[in-house]
Amino acid sequence: MTATSDLDTPPSFTGTGTIKNPATGAVAGTVRWTDPADVAQVAAGLRAAQKEWEARGPKGRAKVLSRYAVWLGQHRAEIERLLIEETGKSAADAAQEVPLIIMIASYYIKNIEKALAPETRPAALPFLAIKKISVHYRPRPVVGIIAPWNYPVANALMDAIGALAAGCAVLLKPSERTPLTAELLLRGWLDSGAPEVLALVQGAREVSEAVIDSSDFVQFTGSCATGAKVMERAARTLTPVSLELGGKDPMLVLEDADIDLAAHAAVWGAMFNAGQTCVSVERVYVVESVYDQFVAAVVDDVNKLKLGAGEGYHLGAMIDDSQVAVTERHVADALAKGAKVLTGGKRASGSGSFYEPTVLVDVDHTMLCMTEETFGPTLPIMKVSSVDEAIRLANDSPYGLSAAVFSGDPERAKAVALQLDCGAVNINDVISNLMCTTAPMGGWKTSGMGARFGGAEGIRKFCRQEAVVAPRTKVGAGGNYYNNSLKALKRMNTLMTKMALIGPRRSAK
C-alpha cells in the first residue's frame, strides 16, 4: 500500500498544524508536531517499557491484543468517520481498513505462542549429539514504523500488531497528511488497558530520520526513491529494515477467461481507494481475441461508478492536488503518444482533489501510464497477440509487487503466474493476497525487500535469533582445549574429518 513519503517533504513542521479534508477543504482537526529532538527520548521510554512487555510472554501479550481488537471493533464507526474526514475516501473504501486489521490481529493472537516457541535443532553429525541445540526468538526492543497516508489504519497497524505480538515496543510515525487517525488508534490502545509500548510521533522528514536513528528495526511503506533514503539512513547504524515500496501491478486476461469477472475485477482493482493502493491494477494485458469484449465490459462498469466522499459513492478524493497532478501528467503523456480515453481523462469539475475514473486504450510501453506508478484512478488496457507477449510485457518493469492472471483453467493460470517476476499473484481475483495472513506480502526488484505477514515470519521478522547450545553430558566437553595433548587433538580432528565426509562421499558416487 504505497504512497509518497514525508522523507521527501521539507522539514518545516513545527508547533501545530491544521489537517483539511481533500474532498471538501473542511478542517478535519489539528495536530501538534513533534520536535525531532524529542524522538530519542520517546524511544528511550519505549525501550524501558518493552522489557516488561516481553516478560509477559506470548499469552500475556495475546490478552492485551485481544482487548485492543475488541476496541477496534467497537469503535469502527468512529474510526471510519475520521478516515473520511481526513482522506476524503468514500465510505465503501473507508470500510475496508478496520476489518482487515482485526483479521490480522486475530491471526496473530492465535499464533503468537507457536510462532515464538523455541525450536530444537538436531545435531548435524553423530559426534555432536552430546549437545542440545535450541533457537530462541528474542524481540528487537523498538520497532520504528513509518507509515504512508493512503491507508492510515491498515498501514499503521498491520506491522505494529505483528511487532507488538513479538514483544517489541512500537514507535509509529504516520504521514503528516493523515496524523489524526493515528492519534485515535493510540487512544484506543491505551483505553483498552494496554501498557505504553506503543507511542506516536508526528512530523515530516526530520522526525522520520529521528525515528530511523532511534529504532532497532524499521518498517517503511512508501515510494521506491524514499525507500532507498530510508535504507541509506538506517545503514549508518546498521539498523535492519523492511521496505514495502512502489508497484505497477499487471493483470493478464487470457482468451479463456470469464470476461465479465475479469472486467469487474479490473475496475475495482484499479479504482479502489481512487487508485491509491500499492497493489492496485495499474496495467492490463488482454489477448486480442477477447480484447474488444473486455474493454466494452470495463467501460460499462466504469460508467456506473459514482465519484465522491462519504456514503453512497464508489471512490473518493485523491489525497491532495499534487497526487492529482501525477495522474494528469500520465494521462496527458499517453494522449500525446497516441492513446485514447474512453472514460474520464480529466480532473472532476467542482472543488476537491477528485479525478474522474479513467480508461485508456491504444497504450504501450513508451507511455508513463504503463511504466511509472500512477497511484490514481486510471486503467490502461493493452492488446497482446499471445500469452507469451503478455508475460514478457508484465515482466518489463522495474517493479515487482503483485499481479493477477485470469483464465478459465486455474492450473494454466498458475503456470503463467510462476513466470511473473513479483511477490504475489492472484488467480481470477485481485488484491486478495492482502487477506491471506499466512502468506508473505513482499515486493521483488524495486518494489521492496522483506515481507509482511507470512505466517510465523510475520512475527519473527521483528525478532533476533539466539542459539543456545547446552551439554547433554560431561563426556566430550573440552576435547579441543589446549590442555589436551597434541596427539589427542590430531586424533580427534582426523575422526571429525572422516565422519563429516561420510555424507559427501556417498552423494558423490
Active site residues: 244, 278
Cell triple for residue 274?
481512487
Q: Are the C-beta atoms of 36 and 173 separated by less than 8 Å?
A: no
DSSP states of 50-81 as a string? HHHHHHTHHHHHHHHHHHHHHHHHHTHHHHHH
Whole-angstrom distance, CA of residue 396 vs CA of residue 228: 21
Burial of 341 (0-12, 13-18, 19+ CB in 10 A): middle
Phi and psi torsions of 401, nearest 5°: -90, -70
DSSP states of 193-236 as a string? T--S-EEE---SHHHHHHHHHH-SEEEEES-HHHHHHHHHHHHT
Q: Are the C-beta atoms of 261 and 238 separated by less than 8 Å?
A: no
End-to-end Cα separation, the chain, in angstroms = 51
Starting at the edge strand that comes first in sequence, how are the strands of the sheet with 119-121 ordered?
A: 119-121, 131-139, 463-471
Exposure on the CB side of residue 506, measured as CA atoms within 13 A:
5
> If DSSP codes are grouped into helix, strand and coil, which group holds residue 179?
helix
Whole-angstrom distance, CA of residue 470 vs CA of residue 473: 9
The DSSP secondary-structure symbol of 475 reads T
CA neighbor of 200 nearest in space, from 135, 147, 278 = 147
**Cα-based angle 172, 177, 183 (whole degrees, multiple of 5):** 45
CA dihedral over 397, 403, 409, 414, signed as positive or negative: positive
CA distance readout (Å), 415 to 397, 425, 442: 20, 11, 20
Whole-angstrom distance, CA of residue 208 vs CA of residue 201: 9
Q: Which residues are 465's β-sheet partners?
A: 137
